[in-house]
Structure formats: structure tokens, C-alpha cells
Amino acid sequence: MQYFNLHTHQFKNQEAILELVNQYPWEFDDSITNYSIGIHPWHIVEARIHSDLAIIESKLPLQNCLALGECGLDKRIEISMDLQKAVFEKQLLLAEKYKKPVVIHCVAAFQELVEIKNQLQITVPIVIHGFSKNQQLAKQLLDNGFYLSFGKYLLMNPELESVFNSIPENRVFLETDTSDYTIEEVYALAAKYKKITVTGLQQIISNNFNTVFNK
């Protein structure tokens, strides 16, 4: 049974781990086996938006491109929310066009995220990566059809145990993002919290992977 890493910036290419490696359009590497590609809100450059979107659209139909992302909204950066929303909406519509799931970066803008998803009537699966918030927000996101992925904050913040345990098995993923934690460490703690074996957790995540990524 494989591990699945929903979101990482480090391509390790290990046989026992299926990695969804984050790629940016302006530095695309076609040697990476399975990837997502998107414009992160931190890296929006107005002069480059058109060409970045064109590259994303050229990659989305490809088999190795499993998802669009990471993309999203971040209220703690200086780039205007109007520009962030415009770029985000364009990416969501591309994901819908090519029927690819979306990996989301969201900071302090979850209400806007839900509103945009519903306004655009997005039907493809959307995964919030690096979830670290409370049970109330988790429930709101689940009620609006989102999946939640947990990573370094699960290991760093014991208070997330109850939030993690409240997530239905069919709506959860695990990841490492840019942290030094291994995906094995994340799975080990998550399995401990769920009071199941790592193999049992691998099966749950594998089922979710097959559902979300049509594998």
C-alpha cells in the first residue's frame, strides 16, 4: 500500500510514495511525474498572468497533471483582493473546463472562498491544503463540499486532534507541503489519532485519491 502526499514542493520520487508535486507555470519541470500547476496568490505578477494561465491550460489536459493549484486567496499579503479573486476565478473555471480537482491555499479568506465556489457553481473537487483551523470552520467547509488536507500543523498543534477526528473519512487527505516532516510521520500520527493502523489509513486515503482524482 502506498502513501499519498496531497501537496509537496519537493520531488523525491520514492516508490512507496505517490506525490502530488506543486509546480508553478513559469518554472515548469516536465520530469516531475505527478503534479499540480497553478498561480499561488503570493506569486501573482500582473504582466505574467496571461502567459501563466496559457501554460496552465496547456498542462491541464495531460495525464501527469492531476490537479490545478495551489491557488487561492490570502488576506495577509499586499496583493489586492480584487486581483487575487480575478486570478483565482480564472483558474477555477479552467479546472472546471478540464475536470481537474483544485488544491487551495487560503489565509483569512474562507468566506470569500466559499462564496466564489458557489457563485461559479464549481463542481470539481476542491481540497484545502494545510488545514489548521477550528471545528466550526471545518464543518462549514465540509458542508460546502470541500475536502481538507492536514500536514505539519497536525504534528505541531495537539489541539488539532479533535478537529482531525471530526472529519469524515471520505473527505480527508494528508501532506507535507514545504516542511521537513516526512509523509510517514504525518500518517503515523494521523493513524494514532484515528486509532487505526497506518495500513488502514493508507486505504482510506487511497479510496479518497481514487474518488477525487478519478484513478
pLDDT, tens digit, 9 for 90 and up, residues 94-118: 999 999 999 999 999 999 999 999 9
d(CA 47, CA 65): 25
Q: Mark the binding-site residues for a divalent metal cation, compressed into ranges.
A: 70, 105, 129, 177
d(CA 60, CA 153): 30
70: pLDDT strictly greater than 90: yes
85: pLDDT strictly greater than 80: yes
Mean pLDDT across 126-147: 98
CATH pick for 3-212 out of 3.40.50.720, 3.10.450.50, 3.20.20.140, 3.90.1300.10: 3.20.20.140
Cell 483582493, residue? Answer: 81
Q: Domain segments of the chain: what residues?
A: 3-212
pLDDT of residue 65: 98
Give the model's confidence band at 83: pLDDT under 50 very low, under 70 low, under 90 confident, else very high: very high
d(CA 147, CA 141): 8
pLDDT of residue 148: 98
For the full predicted model, state whether its pTM sits above 0.85.
yes
Go through the chain and tell me how many residues it has.
215
d(CA 151, CA 149): 7
pLDDT of residue 215: 75
Give the model's confidence band at 26: pLDDT under 50 very low, under 70 low, under 90 confident, else very high: very high
C-alpha distances (whole Å) from 121 to each of 36, 142, 144, 147 are: 22, 16, 11, 16
Burial (0-12, 13-18, 19+ Cβ within 10 Å), 72: buried
Question: What does pLDDT average to over the chain?
Answer: 97
> Strand pairing partners for 53?
none
Mean pLDDT across 149-172: 97
For residue 103, the SS3 value is strand
d(CA 182, CA 31): 22
pLDDT of residue 1: 77
69: pLDDT strictly greater than 90: yes
Q: Is the peptide bond before 70 cis (omega within 30 degrees of 0)?
A: yes
24: pLDDT strictly greater than 80: yes
Nearest CA-CA partner of 158 in 192, 110, 205, 206 = 192
pLDDT of residue 71: 98
126: pLDDT strictly greater than 90: yes
Q: Mark the binding-site residues, compressed into ranges.
A: 70, 105, 129, 177
C-alpha distances (whole Å) from 17 to each of 71, 119, 184 are: 23, 36, 9
What are the phi and psi torsion angles at 44 (to 5°)? -75, 120
Using an 8 Å Cβ cutoff, are 68 and 102 in contact?
A: yes
Residue type, 10: Q
